Structures are given as C-alpha cells and as structure tokens.
C-alpha cells in the first residue's frame, strides 16, 4: 500500500480513534441473558448490533468477561449457516484482529511480552478495493488494516465458509505485517523486525524491481506462512468440523515453504539473484547512502539502531570475525537472530576471496567450517525441494514462472555456483581433508543440479516444439 497516500488520512483516523477511546473509559455491563438471546437468535437486528458494539468496545478495554462472551459468539457465527449481517461481519473482523493482537502482545501465561507493552489494536477501514493493489484482499499501513469489501467481505457474506476462512487468513496476514512494523519501529531486534527493515530499505531504491520481487519478499513470505498456520489453529479451535479448509490451507502452506528453495529477487534490469545475497547487498547500499524520501535523506542506523549489530559506525558491514562471533553466540543461546547473521555471512561468502580468508583464529576457522557445512546441508534441502517440484509439481513452477517471471534454470546455476565456492573452502583446508562424507554430499548435489539443468533443457525444447506444432495447426485450420 502507498504509505504516503494514506498518511494524512491515517493521522486523522488515529486522532478520531483516540477521541472515541476517551469517550468510553469504562466497561459497559453485559448480562449473560443478552448473550444467550443472541446465540438463540431471539434478538432483533438492532438489538444484536447494539450488543455486538458493546462487546467490541469492552474488548478495547481488555475486559475478561467480554473476551469470553466474544469467543462464544465468534464460535457461533463461524459455525452458523446462512448470510451475515453487517454487525456480524464487523464483529468477525474485529475479533479476528483482536485474537491476533492478543497473540502478539501476550505470552501463553497472559503476561505482556518484553518490549511489546505499546502494542495496540490497529484501526480498521473497509473500502471497495485496496488502493495500489486492487487485487489485494487486505493491506496494512500506518497502524491501519485496510479491507477490500468487494474481494474479502462480499464473497463470504452469503455464507461461503471457504471465503470466510480465507478472510480470516487475510486479516491474520496483515496482523503479521503489523507486528513486523511494530518490532522494527520500536527498536526490537528480531527476525521479523529485520525483514521489515529490509523491505523499507530496499523497495524504494532505484535498483529494485518491486513488482516482480513482491511475492518473495521476506516480509510477505513470513506473513503468508505464519497467517496460514494461525488460520488453521483458529479453525481447529472455533470450527473443528470444517476440515476441508484446514487441509487446503496446510497444503498451500507446504507449497509456500517448498517454494522458498526458489527464493529470488530481480534488480531494475531484470537481473536475477538469490534473495539472501540480493537483500543484504541492497541493505548495505541503503545504510551507506541513506534512503531518499521526499527530498530528505533517512539515516537507517538512526531510525533502526538495532542494525548496529551488523553494521559499524562507519556504515560498513561488520568484519567476518565479528559476524562469526555474533552468529556463534546467537546459536549457543538459541537466539533466532542467528538466522540474520547467517544472511550476512552468506553475503560476504558469495565471492570466493572472502570465503578463503585465512587470517582468522583456529577457533573462528572451526566456527566458519561448521557454518559452511550447515549451508551445504541447507543447499541440499533446497536441492531436494527443487527436484521434487520439477518432477512432481511442474504446474506450481509453471504458475510461479508465468506470474513472477521465474527463471528456474538461473536459480539452479547460482545455487550450484555457491556449492562450488563452499567445496573450494573445504578442500583448501588440509585439516578438513577427512570430511569424506561432506565431499560426497557436495558431489551428489553438483551432479544432481546438472541432471536438473538437463531435464529443464529437454522440457523447454519439448515445450517449444509443441508450441510450434500448435501454431502450425492453427495456421493450417485458418487456411
């Protein structure tokens, strides 16, 4: 969503919401008989709307009793057949966002997570279509979740449960974006905040092709995978008998995870690079030069001080020694930010000279060796996923290729080249010469990639031949 376009509007909405919150500073009493009457469908349309409005207002104030009432009503509405009234749609929308909000702010014991005390329920705005991307079900920008009534609400309004749960997943997706944005803007160093910072740093740069890269953005992949999982969890809790949605969503999530082996990005000249290399490269440019927005240069290290874990005060990527130490410490303490250090190490090892650095201590060389082996294992997993998709899910690759201009052959070549760099490092160290098992894995991977490239070449040749036959047939039929 275009953040500049909505900025003034969102400020007005936030001011309006603040005034509304001040108006209701206390919990409105709700009788159990009111809830019972709603569940028994004995309330008028006006009475139901008024009751649901009171519950929503109380939830804004974290009223425990209202949470329990809301949970019962949510369960009833999701399981009920038939159409939904506007007040019911508003309630389903708000409570879905509320459940996501609770999941972000509180731990399993109900305590506020450290650093998340300022998490708030975002504003909600329903519009016929979400601007900038009119095919989007919903979008998030500046503390507001925007919802497309035409693409999200209308499809389930008449009782279509598939569309209803797709809506729940779409709202959950936007709430992941809310969390990413919160963590980044509040100085938290997490995988999610780093993904958000990456997108902020990259999408406005002239080197980037945002339209082609959108599908495989770090933020989008995380939001999609996490929201799919949470939508299934909500279905299991509130609509356990509706298994077809759960099965379909889990299958789609599995596909999404598998497609991570193809993770790529394009620059403005349509040149492809593996995402982990591309992202860190453009982030380092953004840190060094700053981001130009509205004739103002934004210093990323000032806006996001958590980046100092990976960049020094001179705005250079920290040394290999510092990155290895940070990576090792994070691994030893089971801190997920080890995955961020991993991206930086992969970036600096993308070229052989950095990979062959021998000025490290023996301890750091051992850490480096372990890291390289872990990357070889990771590439092995990617290889297996690409092999599976090519052999058994060619339709998935075809779909992604057509929509996102995916070049599978180029991805395979770049992954193969990366493995060759890793192999050169392993072979260069005499003390690692006993690692026959690792050498076998590397050789198997390189051979497998050759077979895949050969298969793709043959497939392309067959497709071209079929295209030519079809065109000739059509031409002859018209004569």
- As a whole number of angstroms, the distance between CA 198 and CA 286 comes to 9
Q: Is the pLDDT of residue 13 over 50?
A: no
- pLDDT band for 430, please (50, 70, 90 cuts): low
Q: Which of 43-52, 210-219, 380-389, 399-408 has the highest mean pLDDT?
A: 43-52
- Residue owning tokens 């299991």: 236
Structure token digits, residue 344: 């930086």
Give 17's pLDDT tier (boundaries 50, 70, 90): very low
Rounded to 5°, the CA angle 441-359-445 comes to: 10
Q: Identify the pLDDT of residue 460.
A: 44
pLDDT surpassing 80 at residue 25: no
Query: Mean pLDDT lowest for which of 237-241, 358-362, 395-399, 458-462?
Result: 458-462
pLDDT score, position 99: 98
Please say whether the beta carbons of 247 and 229 come within 8 A.
Answer: no
The sign one gets for the Cα dihedral 323, 194, 340, 351 is negative
pLDDT surpassing 80 at residue 51: yes
Q: d(Cα 262, Cα 386) in Å, to the nearest integer?
A: 7
> What global pTM score does this model have?
0.87
Q: Tell me the average pLDDT of the chain.
A: 87
How many residues make up the chain in this entry?
479
Specify burial of residue 30 (Cβ count, 10 A radius: 0-12, 13-18, 19+): middle
Cα(188)–Cα(433) distance, integer angstroms = 42
- Confidence check: pLDDT of 469 > 60: no
CB atoms within 10 A of CB 260: 14
Q: For position 424, what pLDDT does the model report?
A: 83
In whole angstroms, give the CA distance from residue 282 to residue 299: 15
Predicted local distance difference test score (pLDDT) of residue 243: 85
The strand pair at 272-274 and 291-293 is best described as: unpaired
How confident is the model over 29-57, as a mean pLDDT?
A: 96
Question: Which strand (E) or helix (H) includes residue 273?
Answer: strand 272-274
User: What DSSP string describes 426-469?
Assistant: HHH-GGGTT-HHHHHHHHHHHHHHHHHHHHHHHHHHHHHHHHHH
Spacing of C-alpha 449 from chain mean position: 28
| Residue 138 DSSP symbol | E
Spell out a b/e string for 19-29, using b for 16 or more CB atoms within 10 Å of the CB, else e: eeeeeeeebee
The residue written with tokens 């394009």 in the block is 266
Give Cα separations from 307 to 174, 201, 282, 341, 436 (angstroms).
24, 12, 14, 11, 39
Q: Which of 391, 400, 106, 381 is nearest to 261 (CA)?
A: 381
Beta strands 144-148 and 123-127 are: parallel
pLDDT at 442 over 50: yes
226/220 Cα distance (integer angstroms)? 10
Say how far apart CA 139 and CA 125 lie, in whole Å: 10
The Cα 169–Cα 292 span in angstroms is 34
């Amino acid at each position: 969503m275009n953040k500049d376009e909505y900025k003034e509007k969102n400020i007005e909405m936030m001011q309006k919401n603040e005034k509304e919150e001040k108006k209701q500073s206390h919990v409105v009493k709700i009788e159990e008989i009111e809830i019972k009457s709603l569940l028994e469908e004995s309330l008028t349309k006006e009475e139901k709307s008024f009751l649901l409005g009171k519950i929503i207002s109380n939830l804004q104030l974290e009223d425990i009793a209202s949470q329990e009432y809301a949970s019962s009503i949510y369960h009833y509405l999701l399981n009920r057949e038939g159409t939904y009234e506007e007040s019911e749609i508003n309630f389903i929308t708000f409570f879905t966002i509320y459940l996501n909000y609770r999941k972000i702010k509180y731990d399993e014991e109900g305590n506020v997570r450290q650093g998340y005390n300022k998490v708030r329920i975002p504003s909600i705005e329903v519009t016929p279509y979400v601007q900038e991307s009119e095919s989007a079900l919903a979008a998030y920008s500046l503390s507001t979740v925007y919802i497309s009534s035409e693409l999200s609400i209308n499809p389930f309004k008449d009782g279509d449960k598939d569309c209803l749960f797709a809506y729940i997943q779409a709202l959950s997706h936007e709430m992941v974006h809310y969390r990413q944005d919160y963590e980044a803007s509040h100085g938290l160093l997490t995988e999610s905040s780093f993904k958000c910072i990456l997108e902020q740093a990259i999408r406005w740069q002239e080197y980037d092709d945002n339209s082609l890269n959108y599908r495989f953005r770090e933020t989008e992949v995380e939001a999609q995978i996490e929201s799919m999982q949470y939508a299934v969890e909500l279905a299991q809790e509130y609509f356990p008998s509706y298994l077809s949605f759960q099965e379909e969503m889990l299958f789609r999530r599995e596909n999404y995870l598998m497609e991570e082996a193809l993770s790529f990005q394009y620059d403005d000249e349509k040149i492809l690079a593996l995402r982990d290399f591309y992202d860190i490269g453009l982030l380092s440019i953004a840190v060094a030069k700053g981001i130009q927005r509205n004739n103002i240069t934004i210093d990323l290290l000032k806006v996001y001080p958590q980046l100092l874990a990976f960049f020094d005060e001179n705005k250079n990527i920290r040394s290999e020694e510092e990155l290895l130490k940070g990576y090792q410490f994070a691994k030893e303490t089971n801190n997920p930010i080890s995955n961020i250090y991993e991206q930086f190490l992969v970036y600096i090892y993308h070229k052989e000279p950095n990979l062959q650095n021998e000025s490290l201590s023996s301890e750091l060389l051992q850490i480096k060796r372990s890291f390289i082996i872990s990357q070889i294992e990771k590439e092995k997993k990617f290889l297996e996923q690409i092999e599976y998709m090519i052999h058994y899910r060619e339709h998935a690759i075809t779909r992604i290729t057509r929509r996102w201009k995916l070049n599978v052959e180029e991805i395979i070549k770049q992954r193969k080249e990366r493995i060759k760099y890793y192999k050169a490092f392993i072979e260069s160290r005499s003390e690692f010469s006993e690692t026959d098992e690792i050498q076998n894995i590397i050789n198997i991977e390189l051979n497998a990639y050759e077979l895949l490239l050969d298969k793709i070449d043959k497939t392309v040749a067959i497709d071209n031949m079929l295209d030519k036959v079809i065109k000739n047939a059509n031409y002859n039929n018209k004569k």
